A and B are shown apart, each in its own frame.
Chain A
Amino acid sequence: MKLPTLNINFTINRKPQQRVSKFIVKYTPIIVIVVLSAISIIAFASNYQNGLGLSYNDARSHLNIGRRVVEGLKPGLAQIGSVWLPLPHLLMVPTIWNDFFWHTGLSGAIQSMVSFVATGLLIYLYLKKIGVNWIGRVFGVIVFAANLNILYLQSTAMTELLLIAMMTAGCYYLLLWQQKDNVVDIIKAAFFIMLSTLIRYDGWFLFLFAGLLIIFQTLRKKGYKTTEGTIILYSTLAGVGIFLWFVWNALIFKDPLYFAFGPFSAHAQQEQLEAAGVLATKSDILLSIKVYLYALLYNSYTFTALVGAVGAIVIWFDKKITTNVKIITLSLIAPLIFNIIALYLGHSVLFIQGISGDTWFNVRYGVMVLPSIAIFTGYLVGRLKGLRWAVIALIAFTTYFAFANSDAVTIDDATVGSSQKNVTEVSGWLRDNAADKEGFVLISAASHDAIVFSSGLPMKKFIHEGTGAYWESATVSPDRWARWIIMRTNDNNDLSWRFVSVSGALDRYTLVSSYPFADIYELKPEYLPELNTTPVFGKQK
């Protein structure tokens, strides 16, 4: 006997629903901006409140570099230095003069936050341009934004998000150029790639990689003459940042390659690491691939990366996508290739816990491929008709556990890995004992920028390598210039120690405290009368 089903039927007029759907689809870019902005602010507030926003040693150094441009014993553009490329620090200048923006890290985080929102929007637009449906587009944005590593880095003064945004923008306009064959698009692509070359050396690789793609595509379609013109147009704008960087180094440091081979360069650090036997990836391509893939997988929650990889393969078999577009999407994998090559050549260092001993270092480099993963994942979800919801559910499932367990390898990198530097004790001592007293602190910014930042003291209280005559005088006659010296005793890598230890004035100081990262020396009271406590050199060149 068949039971009555007792159905309840009701009908909904589709017109209002269709209107809402139309509205949502039409204004999705704006909705993406609004929602990501809200997420960005909440993530920043959360990371600031729990004290994680400034955990990366490098974040504090970036903020100090920006600050030194506007405040200190020798303020000015030259403080940009050569250790890092200049754009992130230049972007801090409008806000870094304010102590709140400096010490909250907001001055550097703002650009990361804006970049986070911009990258989300670019992912949406990229997917739209390659014909992915609305669900795939939105899902691509979600894959990018629902990642604790991205949310953490966008809350800090680190350079990753800014770089990601510029590189994605460059790739996006390359795609438009291929689709519309409009010269304006290649100019826009070159502009954003140029900006990326002023953030990190990853951008330099993209500059070359995109250049090769442009040559290949133009040769294929239009022959040599047009190729010549196109590549000149592209490289003139995209390469201007690199050119200016050489000029800058030549002007300020009297050596155009100072950034590459100078004493504070990454190369110099890598040499030290190699000497210590911990640059294992150098000349080992398999280990380089393994280490970077682990960083990538840890940053992307693994499963999402695998789905993205499938998407990257499927795109090549998609008849709806033209060969031109397929080729130009290769620009999205530039960060992957760059990081592996950099590890192999020994220009980069990355430690994965369990592979490179028991620590993390620079594992955040893995996030560089996340926008590409998001694009490929969004593409796959858009294309998979029958299995779409299964893939969405599985990624949502993994992401749920990632959030439930606060799985952010970048936070581990910043708080327990080699990238962190807990200088609370030494900076606390300075804040308690030097803030209200006259006199300068001699310190090597190359070794102890985190202490300078964390002390909360004004930048003009410190004599460091970038203070010109003050540094030169203080390292020869410290007792005349520095009431306190912060340095690692017996470590010649610490420039303060290197010079002060041979100045003959060390016996005029008392070692008042020793901490894991530095020791504090204070000038004996009997020498205080001869101490300079005010800036006397005026405006230095």
Chain B
Amino acid sequence: MKITHLVTKILICVIAITVLALTLRGIKGTPIESNINDPIWKDEGPLELSPDRGRFALMYSFVENKSLQFSLPIARFAAPDVAYSNGQYVSLFAPAVSFIVAPGYLIGKLFGLGQVGAFAINALFAFINMLLIWAISRKIGASRTAAIVASFAFLFATPAFAYAVTLYQHHLTTFLLLLSIYVLLKTDRLWSSAVVFFCAALSIPVDNPNAVFMLPVSLWALSRLVSVLKTKTQLKITVKSLGILTAVGGIIPLVLFLSFNQISHGDPFKLSGTLPAAKVIDTKGEPVRTPVVTEETTLTPETKKKTATGFFKSRNLVNGFYIHSISPDRGTIVFAPLMLIGFFGLIYRKKAHRTVTMVLLASIGFIVLLYSMWGDPWGGWAFGSRYLIPAYALAAILLSLALDRFSKKIIPFLFVLVVLIYSISVNTLGAITSNRNPPEVEAIALQEITNRIEPVSFDRNLEFLQDNRSKSYVYQEYFSDTLLATEYYVIVLMLTLSVPVIGFFYMFFTRKIPTI
């Protein structure tokens, strides 16, 4: 490897890590039970929505209280997304994320930054995802620069950015998906199948629907265990019998998951999400089963989500497709239009990579379809379409192939450049501010309470920024006295844009033929 390549790679990684560090949300200190329900940790702070609070609550309870059942303050903190089972409050979310970020919390706590430490683990996975996209793009024939631009595009030009600096399951899901694809591309040795089965099994306690999304890549891994050779007269079938042992890879996470369920709520086969939810906890600490419609519950972003979830319906597809594609509050065309260009990559795919492109398309399809059939395609209050983050990662791989072609002529080049800059600008705005954007349908109800027009798209984040607010830990801790939030945004944006824009210009001016 040329030294310049190595230096460039290191520089790019440093820039990516710096951007993530500059935008990582948080405040100084580590929450304790007596202050965890203060607004500075919740709505006004880094744990602004119930999905991140719920996961943080489980991690906190496990680490600090050595218990999978929540104490009352923790239960109140996690509400309305907290389950009530056998007289105790337990997590409503799949548990893996909470356990995986625990080391970050413990390390951060040593420096008085427990919450920031926990979030940093999520950001670390986001960074690894970027590297995996980079590597996979190279493996399927994208040029070096296209692979870099595409990997940056995933992390910083989609809502993946806003969810890299908080505590959600999406980057861990994406990591498992990408890692599986990467190892299958890397080698056809048996251990690669074992890794995939491990990832597939681990993905279930990360987020239960992952079982569906991991299906195409799991089938690919399974197909590696059997080979069929066709001759004119015979079919020669070879089964790698040792391959059966690769299934062991999947057993460990599943056993741990079942054990968690047993300890948490007494039934190994009952998923946390199917437990009865305690949306409101009364002053005595008892769950209120029927939520009272008050201003508070209306204003609590997650309330609506819980009433709309629970099953997948093909009837929801029309609305789901609309929400994920063109709606102003979540649409890909608004928040991550660059990823749509990725579909051109299907045209430029190489025959040798037929299987991987089929797996990419099938996985993207499963993700989009499943979350379009979901009763709450908005993902509650959120920035962009958070459910599509794994799909954006896969689309970014295809994007790398498209970028090689689009960088060759001036018109497509300029078009992609504009879309790239727009996408990064929008998502940097989201990352640096907040994910508390209501779905359009809820904003209408909200308007009646707040008596103002509620923005639902990234204009809400712009408003937040113009109020001189940012949830970035670095900004709040070090720069809030010297820089306006908007100035901070511009600095971060310039840094974020530097790699993909320079890279894309480089592609245009060198116009290299893609190398494999």
0 or 1 for each of A152-189: is its CB under 8 Å from B? (1 = yes): 00000000000000000000000000000000000000
Q: How far is the CB of B332 from chain A (nearest CB, A)?
A: 15
Within 8 A of B (CB), among A349-408: 386-387, 389-391, 393-394, 397-399, 401-402, 405, 407
0 or 1 for each of A410-424: is its CB under 8 Å from B? (1 = yes): 000000000000000
Q: A7-B239, A14-B232, A394-B369 are in contact. Are A294 and B318 (CB under 8 A)?
A: yes
Q: Pick the residue among B190, B315, B349, B358 that contacts A298 (CB under 8 A).
A: B315
Within 8 A of B (CB), among A1-47: 3-15, 17
Q: Pick the residue among B312, B318, B365 that contacts A302 (CB under 8 A).
A: B318
The answer to whether A401 and B314 touch across the interface, beta carbons within 8 angstroms, is yes
Q: For the complex, is B474 an interface residue (Cβ under 8 Å from A)?
A: no
Residues on the A chain within 8 Å of B313, using CB: 401, 405, 407
The answer to whether B369 and A9 touch across the interface, beta carbons within 8 angstroms, is no
Within 8 A of B (CB), among A293-345: 294, 297-298, 301-303, 306
The answer to whether B237 and A11 touch across the interface, beta carbons within 8 angstroms, is yes
Within 8 A of A (CB), among B235-269: 235-243
Q: Return the chain B residue nearest A394 by Cβ.
A: B365
Residues on the B chain within 8 Å of A389, using CB: 358, 362
Q: For the complex, is A65 an interface residue (Cβ under 8 Å from B)?
A: no
- Alpha-carbon gap, A297 to B321, bound state (A): 11
The answer to whether A13 and B369 touch across the interface, beta carbons within 8 angstroms, is no
The answer to whether A397 and B369 touch across the interface, beta carbons within 8 angstroms, is yes
Within 8 A of B (CB), among A248-303: 294, 297-298, 301-303
Q: For the complex, is A409 an interface residue (Cβ under 8 Å from B)?
A: yes
Q: How far is the CB of B356 from chain A (nearest CB, A)?
A: 10
Q: How far is the CB of A379 from chain B (nearest CB, A)?
A: 18
The answer to whether A390 and B241 touch across the interface, beta carbons within 8 angstroms, is no
Q: How far is the CB of A364 from chain B (nearest CB, A)?
A: 15
Q: For the complex, is B158 an interface residue (Cβ under 8 Å from A)?
A: no
- Alpha-carbon gap, A391 to B362, bound state (A): 7
Tally of chain A residues near chain B (CB < 8 A) = 36
Q: Pick the residue among B233, B236, B242, B358 that contacts A387 (CB under 8 A).
A: B358
Residues on the A chain within 8 Å of B361, using CB: 387, 390-391
Most chain A CB atoms below 10 A, which of B234, B317, B358, B369: B317
The answer to whether B238 and A398 touch across the interface, beta carbons within 8 angstroms, is no
The answer to whether B366 and A394 touch across the interface, beta carbons within 8 angstroms, is yes
Q: For the complex, is B354 an interface residue (Cβ under 8 Å from A)?
A: yes
Q: How far is the CB of A392 from chain B (nearest CB, A)?
A: 10
Q: How far is the CB of A374 from chain B (nearest CB, A)?
A: 17
Residues on the A chain within 8 Å of B314, using CB: 301-302, 398-399, 401-402, 405, 407
Q: For the complex, is B311 an interface residue (Cβ under 8 Å from A)?
A: yes
Q: Return the chain A residue nearest B311 by Cβ.
A: A405
* Count, A-B residue pairs, CB within 8 A: 103
Q: For the complex, is B203 an interface residue (Cβ under 8 Å from A)?
A: no
Q: Return the chain A residue nearest B315 by Cβ.
A: A407
Residues on the A chain within 8 Å of B165, using CB: none
Within 8 A of A (CB), among B341-389: 346, 349, 351, 354, 357-359, 361-362, 365-366, 369-370, 373
The answer to whether B315 and A5 touch across the interface, beta carbons within 8 angstroms, is no
The answer to whether A401 and B373 touch across the interface, beta carbons within 8 angstroms, is yes
Most chain B CB atoms below 10 A, which of A15, A303, A402: A303
Q: Pick the residue among B239, B321, B358, B365 that contacts A386 (CB under 8 A).
A: B358
The answer to whether B365 and A301 touch across the interface, beta carbons within 8 angstroms, is no
- Alpha-carbon gap, A301 to B238, bound state (A): 40
The answer to whether A409 and B315 touch across the interface, beta carbons within 8 angstroms, is yes
Q: Return the chain A residue nearest B243 by Cβ.
A: A5
The answer to whether A301 and B236 touch across the interface, beta carbons within 8 angstroms, is no
Q: How far is the CB of B81 from chain A (nearest CB, A)?
A: 25
Q: Return the chain A residue nearest B191 by Cβ.
A: A3
The answer to whether A17 and B235 touch across the interface, beta carbons within 8 angstroms, is yes
- Alpha-carbon gap, A409 to B233, bound state (A): 50
Within 8 A of B (CB), among A476-525: none
Q: A302-B321, A401-B313, A401-B314 are in contact. Are A390 and B362 (CB under 8 A)?
A: yes
The answer to whether B238 and A8 touch across the interface, beta carbons within 8 angstroms, is yes
- Alpha-carbon gap, A245 to B254, bound state (A): 69
Residues on the B chain within 8 Å of A301, using CB: 314, 317
- Alpha-carbon gap, A389 to B361, bound state (A): 10
Residues on the B chain within 8 Å of A393, using CB: 216, 362, 365
Q: Pick the residue among A13, A303, A386, A405 that contacts B315 (CB under 8 A).
A: A405
- Alpha-carbon gap, A297 to B318, bound state (A): 7
Q: How far is the CB of A135 from chain B (nearest CB, A)?
A: 15
Residues on the B chain within 8 Å of A390, using CB: 216, 358-359, 361-362, 365
- Alpha-carbon gap, A403 to B257, bound state (A): 30
Residues on the B chain within 8 Å of A391, using CB: 361
Q: Return the chain B residue nearest A409 by Cβ.
A: B315
Q: A5-B240, A303-B369, A394-B369 are in contact. Are A14 and B234 (CB under 8 A)?
A: yes
- Alpha-carbon gap, A303 to B364, bound state (A): 14
Q: A297-B317, A405-B311 are in contact. Are A13 and B349 (CB under 8 A)?
A: no
- Alpha-carbon gap, A8 to B359, bound state (A): 27
Q: Return the chain B residue nearest A17 by Cβ.
A: B235
Residues on the B chain within 8 Å of A298, using CB: 315, 318
Residues on the A chain within 8 Å of B232, using CB: 14
Q: Return the chain B residue nearest A405 by Cβ.
A: B313
Beyond A5-B190, A9-B236, A401-B314, 14 additional contacts (C-beta under 8 Å) are A5-B241, A9-B237, A10-B236, A12-B234, A12-B235, A13-B233, A298-B318, A301-B317, A386-B354, A393-B362, A394-B362, A398-B314, A401-B373, A405-B312
A–B Cβ pairs within 8 angstroms, 20 of them: A3-B242, A5-B190, A5-B240, A7-B241, A11-B234, A12-B235, A14-B232, A294-B318, A297-B317, A301-B314, A306-B321, A390-B216, A390-B359, A391-B361, A393-B362, A397-B365, A398-B314, A398-B317, A398-B373, A405-B311
Chain B residues within CB distance 8 Å of chain A: 190, 216, 230-243, 311-315, 317-318, 321, 346, 349, 351, 354, 357-359, 361-362, 365-366, 369-370, 373
Task: Give the top 3 A-B pairs by smallest Cβ distance, nearest first.
Answer: A302-B317, A402-B314, A390-B362
